[in-house]
Structure 1
Amino acid sequence: MVISSCVGAVPISFSELMSIIAYQTGLSGEQNFATQQAAVFLNLRLPRVVLGVLIGAALGISGAAIQGLFRNPLAEPGLIGISSGATLFAVVMIVLETKIFKQLTGLLGFYALSVAAFIGAALTTMLVYRIAMRNGKTIITTLLLAGIAINALAGAFTGLLTYMATDAQLRNITFWSLGSLGGASWPTVTALLPFVLIPVIGLPFLSKSLNALALGEAQAMHMGINVKVVKLLVIGLATMAVGASVAVAGIIAFIGLIIPHILRMMFTADHRLVIPGSALLGAALLTLADLIARTVVAPAELPIGILTAMIGAPVFIYIIITERNKTNS
């Protein structure tokens, strides 16, 4: 966060950064910085850094919780329909807002897109979850296959709406679908904040239940865990976090998939560490990725979704090969 706040077209040294913070918080009356530096930090970089932290934490902790719930390392939010559902409803809001949802936008303001994305994510996730249920149990293979099917269906409707969009809407959809934190502002941060804080605070309390579920649903029930309630809470909180994140920043791939893997390989599979650790590492990784995205091709900006996919895919392949070699040995 500190490095990302300092590096950019207007450089800010660490001492200048501390001076800006001290002056703004009233701890010091000295202005050992330029007015332009303070304006850039407070209005551009700080909201962008905070937004990156929130979205990275949301994607990381949601991925860890979903993987723990379904006891499957491939059960990333994007694979079971959360991201595609959020994308579809967000695109619906962008394309049909002036015709159908104008009053809703006027009522909810900055929250409108996040609410729409959350509803879409919740509906697709519930649909996938219901398809995968058999005799009260979740069939993991069916879950992933249903997720693939729902992703394809949501992608088809998203493509149809993209075809119907105006040139201005098409540019917004295209840029947004590649993932970016370029639209960061304090209203955006405050709109996203409750959708992320609730899951980040709530999911760690389910860590022990997820540890029990790792032994199997029957064993968890014998240990006094209400499996149905845990499933609903995990899916609801993960959907809230990912849906709102997708609405604000677009599709950012692989954060929710590789972060829990890295923590399990380096430390332990105990969800008491993996759940909060995924939020912290996800926040750090996305902030770093955003720093690279806005500096590597400056003055242009690389879409962050492209960068995370370019980094995440090789890392995930390496993890797969490593796990395969462990199994063979």
Structure 2
Amino acid sequence: MKRRRTATVLVLLAVLLAASSVAGLALGPVRIGPGKVLGLVLAGPGARGGAFASIVWDVRMPRVLLGTVVGAGLAVAGAVLQALVRNQLADPFLLGASSGASAGAVLVLVFGTAAGAGAGAAGFAAGAGVPLAAFVGSLAALVAVYAMARRGGTMTTGRLILAGVAVQYVLSALTSLVLVLSARPDQIRSVLFWTLGGLGGARWDELALPAAALLVGTVLLVALARPLDLLLAGEEGAHTLGLDTGRFRAAVFVLTSLVIGVLVAYSGAIGFVGLMVPHAARMVVGAGHRALLPVAALGGAVFLTLADLVARTAAAPEEIPVGVVTALVGGPFFLWMLRRSGRSEGVSA
């Protein structure tokens, strides 16, 4: 029954993702009928359709695909972080991982290109340098929050959230300092992009790396579903069942930070996807990670695709950063969960 329910949920989410993707391709400043969109998609990138074909394939398709990849990755990362710290309030944004990735990416983008006299330095900053710096920033933020929140072998919800907020403030101040020191308008726009999150800069030639990070990261994390489930039994229980929790947690922190860093390097800091979607998925298919992670991935893809659609159309012709839309939805959800969790919740860590 459980496998049948999981399969049914995955099929329904796949249908929702297809429908939301078609809506993302059809709606915008220029509206294209769903039938026309399907015809252009089925005809392939070389479809004849004049301006409509160019809008669908060159502008909207990369954006929809990037939203799918980023939403899925953030949801998977959120589910894994919640298992690692044994707290359902954990989220890449709330734990400072997204802010750390943004700060690292912005530092390399601004100071790396400014310091490089030749095209080589600029190319490195725009290519491998930004995702690498985002990974380092994400990992450093997660380690800092975990170290501050853990005390005496326990980790309370209050300490975890306060540590995440503190790290976010420090990283936001660092990003703001970069914004002040930057004298170039294009760099200021880039800093704002990584601060607020957005998918408007999606391009075909930049989809391969985030897609590869999502695919490899998700496959590895699903393969680690059993140890992740053991962490839910507590530190002593996991040790009794043969899991080296210290090494395992460190390895998965690195893997999760790599996924978050690569995604944030291309989308900016988008919050609350990793908080809401895993929680909703857990209510439907349970806490077992072999079912939870695929469901969370598809759910995150659907959620961010729809959020980006709202961001593009709600205030047309102006565009709202998608991070603002997810925060407007996720903020009240977080407050509800925080009140529900209680003030004195403690877990072994």
Give the TM interval when normalised to the shorter protein: 0.7 to 0.9
Aligned to 1:35: 50
Aligned to 2:25: 5
Give how far 1:61 is off.
0.5
Per-residue CA deviations over 1:277-329 (Å, capped at 9, x if unaligned) read: 111101100000001111111111111111111111223344456677xxxxx
Give how far 1:108 is off.
6.4
2:313 pairs with one of 273, 295, 302: 295
With the length of structure 2 as denominator, give the TM-score of the two structures: 0.82
2:36 counterpart of 1:16: yes
Bigger shift: residues 308-317 or 108-117: 108-117
2:92 counterpart of 1:77: yes
Give how far 1:43 is off.
0.6
Bigger shift: residues 106-115 or 175-184: 106-115
Structure 1 unaligned blocks of 5 or more: 325-329
Letter in 1 for 2:263: S
Per-residue CA deviations over 1:217-276 (Å, capped at 9, x if unaligned) read: 221122122323321232122211221222211121111111111122334222222222
Bigger shift: residues 15-24 or 37-46: 15-24
Letter in 2 for 1:120: G
Aligned to 2:322: 304
Contact 2:229 2:289 in 1 (8 A): yes
Aligned to 2:216: 198
Alignment of structure 1 residues 164-203 onto 2, 5 Å: 164-168=181-185, 169-203=187-221
Cα distance in structure 1, aligned partners of 2:50 and 2:335: 47
Cα distance in structure 1, aligned partners of 2:265 and 2:285: 32
Cα RMSD (Å) = 2.6
2:65 pairs with one of 50, 59, 67: 50
Cα distance in structure 1, aligned partners of 2:335 and 2:150: 30
Contact 1:128 1:143 in 2 (8 A): yes
Give how far 1:24 is off.
2.1
- CA gap 1:94/1:45 in 2 versus in 1, 3 angstroms: same
Bigger shift: residues 264-273 or 41-50: 264-273
Bigger shift: residues 301-310 or 232-241: 232-241
2:269 aligned counterpart, secondary structure: coil
2:70 counterpart of 1:61: no
- CA gap 1:79/1:311 in 2 versus in 1, 3 angstroms: closer
Aligned to 2:291: 273
2:74 aligned counterpart, secondary structure: helix
2:205 aligned counterpart, secondary structure: helix
1:158 aligned counterpart, secondary structure: helix
2:264 counterpart of 1:246: yes
Bigger shift: residues 280-289 or 1-10: 1-10
Give how far 1:122 is off.
1.8
Structure 2 unaligned blocks of 5 or more: 1-20, 343-349
- CA gap 1:222/1:75 in 2 versus in 1, 3 angstroms: same
Per-residue CA deviations over 1:145-204 (Å, capped at 9, x if unaligned) read: 443333232222222222111251223312431111110111221232222222122211
Bigger shift: residues 278-287 or 11-20: 11-20
Letter in 2 for 1:192: P
With the length of structure 1 as denominator, give the TM-score of the two structures: 0.87
1:308 aligned counterpart, secondary structure: helix
Per-residue CA deviations over 1:49-80 (Å, capped at 9, x if unaligned) read: 00000100111010010001111112212233
Per-residue CA deviations over 1:16-56 (Å, capped at 9, x if unaligned) read: 23322332289xxxx7x622221111111110000000100
Cα distance in structure 2, aligned partners of 1:229 and 1:119: 19
- CA gap 1:320/1:144 in 2 versus in 1, 3 angstroms: closer
Bigger shift: residues 112-121 or 100-109: 100-109
Contact 1:206 1:230 in 2 (8 A): no
